[in-house]
Amino acid sequence: MSDGNKSAQAQRLAERAAQALCANDTTSRHLGIRLVEIRPGYARMAMLVRADMVNGHHICHGGMVFTLADTAFAYSCNSYNDNTVAATASIDFLAPAHEGDELTAVATELWRTRRNGIYEITVTNQRDERIALFRGRSYRIDGQLVSVE
Amino acid sequence: MSDGNKSAQAQRLAERAAQALCANDTTSRHLGIRLVEIRPGYARMAMLVRADMVNGHHICHGGMVFTLADTAFAYSCNSYNDNTVAATASIDFLAPAHEGDELTAVATELWRTRRNGIYEITVTNQRDERIALFRGRSYRIDGQLVSVE
Amino acid sequence: MSDGNKSAQAQRLAERAAQALCANDTTSRHLGIRLVEIRPGYARMAMLVRADMVNGHHICHGGMVFTLADTAFAYSCNSYNDNTVAATASIDFLAPAHEGDELTAVATELWRTRRNGIYEITVTNQRDERIALFRGRSYRIDGQLVSVE
Amino acid sequence: MSDGNKSAQAQRLAERAAQALCANDTTSRHLGIRLVEIRPGYARMAMLVRADMVNGHHICHGGMVFTLADTAFAYSCNSYNDNTVAATASIDFLAPAHEGDELTAVATELWRTRRNGIYEITVTNQRDERIALFRGRSYRIDGQLVSVE
C-alpha cells in the first residue's frame, strides 16, 4: 500500500472512530459540543457558552471549559481506533469566558507510545484569545471503537 | 471576641458565601450538584451520574467528574468570602464512574496565603471507592461575595 | 503464612529493595540524601541544604527540592521490589528553603494498581514548615530489584 | 525609541539578568549546566549526564532532568529583569537519559501577565530524542535582578 493510501486509510479510520464516539457521547451532545475537524492524533471542537454554563462568579464554569478540552482530548487520542481513556489531565485557566462566547478547543499529539500518549489542548474564544491550556495523558485499554475489515 | 465566637462567625460567613455562589451557579444546578456541607476551607458536594453525563466509552464523562470536583474546590476556596478563582487544576482518574452512581467530592485546604491557596479534592462513589483525585490552585481576585456588616 | 509473617516479609523486602536502590544511587549520595525510614509504600528521606544547592535568588534551587522529593517517591514506589519508574510528577513550591536548612521528604501511597501508582510527597524544614508538595505517578516496568528466594 | 532599539534593549536586559542569575547559581555550576542562548522569554541550556547523576535504576535521576529544565525555566522567566520564582511545575518523563548523554532544555513562554507566567520546557538528548516535557508556572516577586539606568 502506498503512503498516500495509508494516510487516506488512517484518516478514514479517525473519522469512523469519531463517529462511534459521537454516537454514545450524550454529555457532548447535551452541552452542544461540535466536532469541527478530526485527523489522526488531532481534533478541533467548538462549544457556545450558554446561560447554563455559568458559575457563581458570572463567568463560564471551569468545569465546562475543562469538559470541552477533555472532549477534544478524547477524540484525538481515540483517533487510531484503539479504546483510550484519560489517565490524568491538568488545566491552566488563562482568562475567563463569558456567556455567548464561542470556544474552540484544538487538540494536538505531543507524544505517543503503544499504551501511553500526551496531548496538548488549547482553548480559545471567538477573538482568538486563549482561555485555557490543557494537557492530558492517555492510556490505551483493550478493544477498538469500530471493527476494521 | 472569644475563639468560639470567631469560629461561629467564620462558619456563618462560609454559609453565606456558599449561598451567594449557589444563587448564580447555574452550571451546578443543571448538573444536579448539591452542597452537602460547608465549613471554612472545606466543602462536600454530591452528584448523581445521569444518562446525559456519559461519554463515548459508556462511562461518566471525565469533564463531569472534573466539574463536580471543581465545584467543591470553588466552594471551599471562596468560603472566606473573598472572591477567589481557579488558576490551575489537575485530576487523576482512578476508576470509572457509571450512570446511576452517586458521587461525592470532598474538598480540603492544603495551604493558603493571602492570595494563593491549594486544595485537595477526592471524588468517591456510593461504595466509597475513589474515582478521582483533584488538586487545585486558587487565586484571590478583588471583591467579596457578600457584604459584611 | 500468618498476617504478621506476611507483614514482616513485606517490610524485609522493602528494606532490601531500598538497599539495592541505595547501592546504585550516586545522585542521592552526592547530594547527601539519607534514607531515614522505609516501609511498603512509604519512605522518609532527609537532606541538608548545602552551599552548592543554592540558586540565583540565594534560595535552595527548586531542582534540589524536587530531587529530594523525587528520591523519596522512588524509594516508596519501589518498596514492593518491582522495578518502578516515574511517569509524571508535579510540585508546588510553598516556601523557600535556605542554606543550612534540614529538609525532610515523606512519601505516602495514595493509590496503586498492578502497573500504576500515585504517591504524595511533602517536604518540610527543621521547623516543620512545609516547603513543597509533590505528587508523582509511577509506572511499573519489567524486572525486580532483588531476587526473592 | 524605535522598535529595533527597544528590542535590542530587551535583549541586552535579558543577557544582563542571565549574568546576574549565573553569578549566584551555584547549583547549576556544580551540575555543569551551561547557558547556551538567552532571549526575552526564552532560554536554552545544556548539561552532560555525569556518573554522579545516575539513580538506582542506572539511568539519569529524574531530579537531575528536572533541575536542568527548571533552570531553563528560571532563566527564561527572569529574562525581563523582574525577580520571578517558580510557583508550580510538572514534568512528564518520556524516555530515560543515560550517563554520557548531552541534554538540552529549551524554554519558551506560553503566556505572561504582570505577575504570572507559564513556560514550556522540552528536554532532548544529543540525538534530538525527547526526554521530558516540563511546564512551569512563575510568580513575580518584588525587586529586580540588575539595576537599570
* Cβ within 8 Å of residue C34, ≥6 positions away: C45, C46, C47
Mean pLDDT of A13-24: 94
Does residue D114 have a pLDDT over 90? yes
Whether chain B has a CB inside 8 Å of the CB on A25: the answer is yes
Which candidate from B90, B110, B133 shows the least CB-CB separation from C110?
A: B133
Q: How confident is the model at residue D4 (pLDDT cuts 50, 70, 90)?
A: confident
Chain A nearest CA to D23, separation (Å): 33
The strand pairing partners of B121, in sequence order, are B107, B134
Model pLDDT, residue C2: 84
d(Cα B120, Cα D30) in Å, to the nearest integer?
36
Nearest to C146 by CA among C16, C11, C25, C22: C16
Whether D24 sits inside 8 A of C58 (CB atoms) is yes
Closest CA to C140 of C108, C118, C107, C110: C118
**Burial (CB count <10 Å: 0-12, 13-18, 19+), residue D70:** buried
Looking at the complex, report in whole angstroms how far the Cα of residue C22 sits from the nearest Cα belonging to chain B. 30
| DSSP states of B12-74 | HHHHHHHHHHHHH-HHHHHHT-EEEEEETTEEEEEEE--GGGB-TTSSB-HHHHHHHHHHHHH
The chains in contact with chain A, meaning 3 or more Cβ pairs closer than 8 Å, are: B, C, D
Percent of chain D at pLDDT exceeding 90: 90
* The predicted structure's pLDDT at residue D13: 97
CA D29/CA D67 separation, integer angstroms: 12
Which grid coordinates are listed for B111? 495551604
Distance of CA C33 to the CA centre of its chain: 10
**Secondary structure of residue C31 in the 3-state scheme:** helix
Q: Which chain B residues touch C110 with a CB distance below 8 Å?
A: 133
Residue A149 has pLDDT above 70, yes or no: no
C48 burial class (0-12, 13-18, 19+ CB within 10 angstroms)? middle
Q: Are D61 and C23 an interchain contact pair (Cβ–Cβ within 8 Å)?
A: no
Q: Which residues of chain A make contact with C114, given a CB cutoff of 8 A? A: none
Cβ atoms A69, A134 nearer than 8 A: yes
| Phi/psi of residue B36, nearest 5 degrees | -100, -40
Q: With cut-offs at 50, 70 and 90, classify the pLDDT of residue A132.
A: very high
Determine the pLDDT at residue C143. Answer: 94
CB B67 within 8 A of CB B61: no
Q: In this structure, which amino acid lies at residue C124?
A: T
pLDDT per residue as tens digits for the range C39-78: 999 999 999 999 999 987 889 999 999 999 999 999 999 9
Dist CA B23 CA B17 (whole Å)? 10
Mean confidence (pLDDT) of chain A:
95
C-alpha cell at D129: 530524542
Q: How far apart are CA C81 and CA C142, in angstroms?
A: 11
* Chain D residues close to A94, C-beta within 8 Å: 111, 118
CB neighbour burial string for A94-103, b if at least 16 within 10 angstroms, e if fewer: bebbeeebeb
What residues of chain B score a pLDDT lower than 50?
Answer: none
Alpha-carbon span C30 to D54, nearest angstrom: 10
* Lateral strand order in the sheet of B42-48: A34-39, A42-48, A102-112, A116-124, A130-144, A82-93, B82-93, B130-144, B116-124, B102-112, B42-48, B34-39
CA B77 to chain centre: 8
Please tell me the distance from the alpha carbon of residue A47 to that of residue A35, in angstroms, as a whole number.
9
Per the CB < 8 A criterion, the answer to whether C95 and B113 are in contact is no
Please provide the distance, in angstroms rounded to a whole number, between the alpha carbons at the two ends of chain C. 15
Q: Distance between CA atoms of D21 and D15, rounded to whole angstroms?
A: 10
Residue A1's pLDDT is 72
State pLDDT tens for residues C76-127.
Answer: 999 999 999 999 999 999 999 999 999 999 999 999 999 999 999 999 999 9
Q: Are A91 and A99 in contact (CB under 8 A)?
A: no
| Helices assigned H by DSSP within B89-146 | none
pLDDT digits (tens, 9 = 90+) for D43-59: 999 999 999 999 878 89
Kindly report, residue by residue over A62-100, the tens digit of the pLDDT.
999 999 999 999 999 999 999 999 999 999 999 999 999
Cβ separation B88–D116 shorter than 8 A: no
Q: Locate cell 516501609: which residue?
A: C39
The 3-state DSSP class for residue D57 equals coil
Put simply, the answer to whether D137 touches B88 (Cβ < 8 Å) is: yes
pLDDT computed for residue B59 by the predictor: 93
pTM above 0.90, yes or no: yes
**All partners of chain C with 3 or more CB pairs under 8 angstroms:** A, B, D
Whether C94 contacts C130, CB under 8 Å: yes
Which residue among B111, B133, B135 sits closest to C94, beta carbon to beta carbon? B111
Contact indicator for A71, A123 with CB cutoff of 8 Å: no
- Using the Cβ of C135 and the Cβ atoms of chain A, whether some distance falls under 8 Å is answered with no
Average pLDDT over residues D66-83: 97
Count of CB pairs separated by less than 8 Å, A with B: 144
Joined together, the cell numbers standing for residue D145 give: 535582578
Which has more pLDDT, D33 or D25?
D33
Q: Which residues of C are less than 8 Å from B130 in CB distance?
A: 111
Inter-chain residue contact C137 with A88, CB threshold 8 Å: yes
Q: Give the pLDDT score at B149.
A: 65
State the best of A21, A25, A27, A73 to mutate against chain B, taking most chain B CBs within 10 Å: A27
Phi then psi for residue A68, to 5 deg, are -60, -50
Q: Which band of pLDDT confidence, cut at 50, 70 and 90, is reported for residue D148?
A: confident
pLDDT in tens, A100-128: 999 999 999 999 999 999 999 999 999 99
CB D134 within 8 A of CB D71: no
List chain D domain ranges.
3-144
Q: Which residue of A has its CA nearest to D90?
A: A90
On chain A, the residues whose CB falls within 8 A of the CB of D133 are: 110-111, 118
Residue B64 and residue A72 in contact, taking contact as beta carbons nearer than 8 Å: no
Cα(A4)–Cα(B32) distance, integer angstroms: 49
Hey, what CATH topology would domain D3-144 get?
Thiol Ester Dehydrase; Chain A (3.10.129)
Share of chain A above pLDDT 70, in %: 99
pLDDT score recorded for residue D146: 94
C141 interfacial to chain A (CB closer than 8 Å): no
DSSP secondary structure of A79-105: TTSEEEEEEEEEEEE-S---TT-EEEE
Q: Is D135 on the interface with B (CB under 8 A)?
A: no
C148 versus D71: which is more confidently predicted?
D71
Task: Give pLDDT, residue B32.
Answer: 97
Q: How many Å apart are CA B70 and CA D76, to the nearest integer?
A: 31
- The per-residue pLDDT for B3 is 84
The answer to whether D83 and D143 have CB atoms below 8 angstroms apart is yes
What does the block give as the cell for A66? 475543562
Q: Which residues in B lie closer than 8 A to residue A66 (C-beta atoms)?
A: 63, 66-67, 70, 89
Min distance C61 CA to chain B CA atoms (Å): 21
